[in-house]
Structure 1
């Protein structure tokens, strides 16, 4: 009798062990769903492992939160999971889920910033990409400590937000600070290419960036940038007014309706009105790209003092006012008629 009881007990233990082994094998090798569904999972900073496991279970990424916890403890990954937004799938095995969360390979969102945009425009792009509010971008771009860390000799990051294609993870709190930091860091890398030997600092750097921003807004022709920078440099050296429309437009801000009028050119209240105020404007009027920075750093040496658009994307350059007036009559007044 005792032998029969012992035999039955052994059979039960073996059966239970087999069932546990089978369940463990199922958990480790069979994903929750086949085919799987992709879904976004956000792990908030400070989340404990039990909270994360429960969240994954509720979203259908794992079938057993306790088994998931035991697996993570066994592999040593229970303390290595990183906060962030992840693209997961119900078709993943638990080990693959753990590996992804421990790797920190969160979802990356692309932000493409073309040359010539203002700080306000870039802030809106960042908000549209879901990388933080425009207000948080503006706040970071005016943070004196942050600007000083990246050597920006100004009160805002205008001009120093380097145009590039970036990829970011979305940060909790809808804060765009990381975008501003990345763009400032990229500017420093670009500046090292423009001035590899002796990069300017302080006022000299700021004046170069201001000039580059004007060049960026004046032409989209790469071959003309250095020549246009040379024209403005010649005018500055001769104490001539720069008389460039893009600076006025920048100073008008949201009030500009697309139609630049004589009253705008005659208004001395606009500090960016280079028809009224001598020298460079108070600050950059956009965020220039690498080629515009190079042009400002190495202006073309010529005797040109004027240029006018030829309505084909290029410009006619002149050395004298008479030549310039003739070019204006040819390319602009004729266009008006």
Structure 2
């Protein structure tokens, strides 16, 4: 039997590119496409360093902004705490006031050091920071200031800058207050310093600017008599010169009205004694100190005017205790008798020839007003009672006994002594 050749299976037949048979089988993976999933799996098999994702730039910027915002917020909170917390904190208040001549050109640190040295702030460093955070010290007004314990840093800034809207106080000046009394009350109310106000009301340049007549035998150099008694609303730590201007302006206004009402009496005084406003105010201030009952003011005015005008009263001495006492207040160093003065009239004080305001030792009016008279006393000088009285003495209850002769006056004095004897 012959051998038949085996037929090749179609499925096992392999041909190459040139059709040759018997070529090795092709690796199936060599023709498989790389899909995204396979790329991802392949990437997962890389080294740890190559697998760390890069941080986006936007994320880093956002973190920086958040950090910066936190710093700014913290700084703002600290600033607010300084301004509203420390700025409103009060130092201990023992009632002490400080008259200070504030220097020009201090920076925040120097200003804080000065305030701390005066005992007005507890923390010099915190005050320096506060002043720097609230605008510095360029707006501070140099010159005299009245500062006080218990003021907050915010209030101290208001005072030193003389800011609009700072606290105010009501000043009431009673009739008969002298400028020394007014100065003490101004300081008590923390409106202006006592020494500063007395200096301002005796400043010749200011008096000239205010039109105050400074004539007279001795030349009284003050605004006494021109500081009208009334009630005023004034800011704390006011410039003393501005306070003086305000009071004098009110006096000018009242004088204009009173002079218009008493124009005939003023004309008569000008014709007989050569008086003007200053002399009228001087006599009115004496009446203010002598009178207690209002209806007696024209009677007391008539006594003093009769002493100046009556030819029979040759001494022309007004003999008022009140004038000599003012001399011991205003010029105590001039009169030896004032060294032992206790506040009450004594023969030595009222008759001391070295006391320029003694109307026992010197004839006529004193050099100037001894107080600040109210409208009724001024009106009494312009319209005095028509009498021949030359004397008066206290009769009790604020009233006086008036006499035309010295004998009658001496009798009245003795009766008064008998009535008050123990």
Normalised TM-score (structure 1)? 0.68
Provide the C-alpha distance between the structure 2 equivalents of 1:122 and 1:24, rounded to a whole number of angstroms: 48
1:168-183 mapped onto 2 (5 Å cutoff)? 168-170=235-237, 176-183=240-247
1:273-292 mapped onto 2 (5 Å cutoff)? 273-292=358-377
| 1:232/1:107 CA distance change after superposition, 3 Å | same
- Contact in 2 for aligned 1:32/1:63 (Cα 8 Å): no
Q: How much has 1:322 moved relative to structure 2?
A: 5.0
1:6 counterpart = 2:66: no
| 1:35/1:132 CA distance change after superposition, 3 Å | closer
1:301 paired residue number: 386
Cα deviation code 1:87-129 (max 9, x no counterpart): 5468x9xxxx99x979533455666544334445555555666
1:217 counterpart = 2:289: yes
Q: How much has 1:146 moved relative to structure 2?
A: 1.3
Provide the C-alpha distance between the structure 2 equivalents of 1:214 and 1:177, rounded to a whole number of angstroms: 26
1:189-200 mapped onto 2 (5 Å cutoff)? 189-196=253-260
- CA RMSD, 1 decimal: 4.8
Provide the secondary structure at the position in 2 that maps to 1:4.
coil
Provide the C-alpha distance between the structure 1 equivalents of 2:392 and 2:319, rounded to a whole number of angstroms: 11
Q: Show structure 2 runs of 5+ residues with no match.
A: 1-51, 93-99, 116-120, 333-337
Aligned length: 318
Cα deviation code 1:66-93 (max 9, x no counterpart): 8x57xx7xxxxx9995647695468x9x
1:160 counterpart = 2:226: yes
- Contact in 2 for aligned 1:80/1:102 (Cα 8 Å): no
Normalised TM-score (structure 2)? 0.57
Cα deviation code 1:232-271 (max 9, x no counterpart): 2233221434332222333455413455455666665555
1:244 paired residue number: 320
Cα deviation code 1:157-207 (max 9, x no counterpart): 232333455535437xxx854554444344323323433577999951111
| 1:79/1:265 CA distance change after superposition, 3 Å | closer
- Contact in 2 for aligned 1:32/1:62 (Cα 8 Å): no
| 1:81/1:268 CA distance change after superposition, 3 Å | closer
Provide the secondary structure at the position in 2 that maps to 1:195.
helix
1:132 counterpart = 2:193: yes
| 1:38/1:275 CA distance change after superposition, 3 Å | closer
Provide the secondary structure at the position in 1 that maps to 2:193.
coil
**Higher RCO (Cα < 8 Å, 6 or more apart):** 1
2:421 paired residue number: 336
Larger radius of gyration: 2
2:203 paired residue number: 143
| 1:195/1:3 CA distance change after superposition, 3 Å | farther
- Contact in 1 for aligned 2:131/2:137 (Cα 8 Å): no
2:7 paired residue number: none
1:19 counterpart = 2:70: yes
